[in-house]
Amino acid sequence: MKKLFLPLAISLLIVSTSYAEDIKGEAVDSLETARTFVEKGNYNKAIEEINYALAKINELTAEGLIKFIPEPPPGFTLDNKQSQGTGSGAAIAGNAGATASYSNNAGAGINLNIAIGGMTGKMASLAAFSQMFAGIAPAGDASQSKKIRVQGYTGTEMFNGQDRSGTITFQIGAKTSVTIEGNNIDSPDVLKLLAKNIDLAGLEKNY
């Protein structure tokens, strides 16, 4: 079994590296084409090429985010993980993002979203701002909100005991946000366990 695994791992690495090089090549080609259009005074076409190159660069950024998807907390399994780069909508949607979903046999679910740039990359800052008004929640609202610390980073934790749902958000640097949402969970502790598995320092260093 080990003899089969090693060649497979090497093959996957070669394919992944080749894919990344292809994307880099497309980005460079588009930037060169954009320069040609600028020299000819065709600025609209130049912008199209620049936007295409930006989309390809964001794809590379998103591909790198996959490695920051952590292992599941105890009792959960990782169901899905994916990454995506964006083009001209980056100002709102962000430059790149990675998502993952986890579940357990009891019906609990956890969703993880890592966003770089744009408004989504600042979602944790917005959550922290809204936490200031936690004390004026409507009567009967079971939501609780508080500040937490994980790996030296300050996050905002919100939990509703009635519907058993919760969210933890972290702002990592100026443009990276990490959002962890849970449904059918007994407490927000499981969300914090997942947060402890994320390389938050690595995210800040690389993005």
pLDDT digits (tens, 9 = 90+) for 108-136: 999 999 999 755 445 544 455 445 444 44
Specify whether the CB–CB gap between 191 and 166 falls below 8 A: yes
pLDDT at 111: 98
pLDDT at 159: 97
User: And the tokens for 47?
Assistant: 């912008």
pLDDT digits (tens, 9 = 90+) for 142-199: 678 999 999 999 999 999 999 999 999 999 998 899 999 999 999 999 999 999 999 9
What b-and-e string marks burial along 149-167, b requiring 16 or more CB atoms within 10 Å of the CB? ebeebebbbbbeeeeebbb
Q: Higher-confidence residue: 19 or 150? A: 150
Question: pTM for this structure?
Answer: 0.68
Consecutive H or E run containing 169: strand 165-172
The DSSP result for 21-86, as a single string, is HHHHHHHHHHHHHHHHHHHHT-HHHHHHHHHHHHHHHHHHHHHHHGGGPPPPPTT-EEEEEEEEE-
pLDDT at 9: 37
Architecture of the domain defined by 66-206: 3-Layer(aba) Sandwich (3.40)
List CB contacts of 75: < 8 A, sequence separation 6 or more.
Answer: 104, 105
Q: Could you give the CA distance from residue 87 to residue 189 in angstroms, rounded to a whole number? A: 36
Specify whether the CB–CB gap between 115 and 99 falls below 8 A: no
Specify whether the CB–CB gap between 191 and 182 falls below 8 A: yes
Amino acid symbol at 23 = I
**In this structure, what DSSP letter does residue 207 have?**
-
88 pLDDT tier (thresholds 50, 70, 90):
very low
Q: Higher-confidence residue: 207 or 142? A: 207
pLDDT at 15: 37
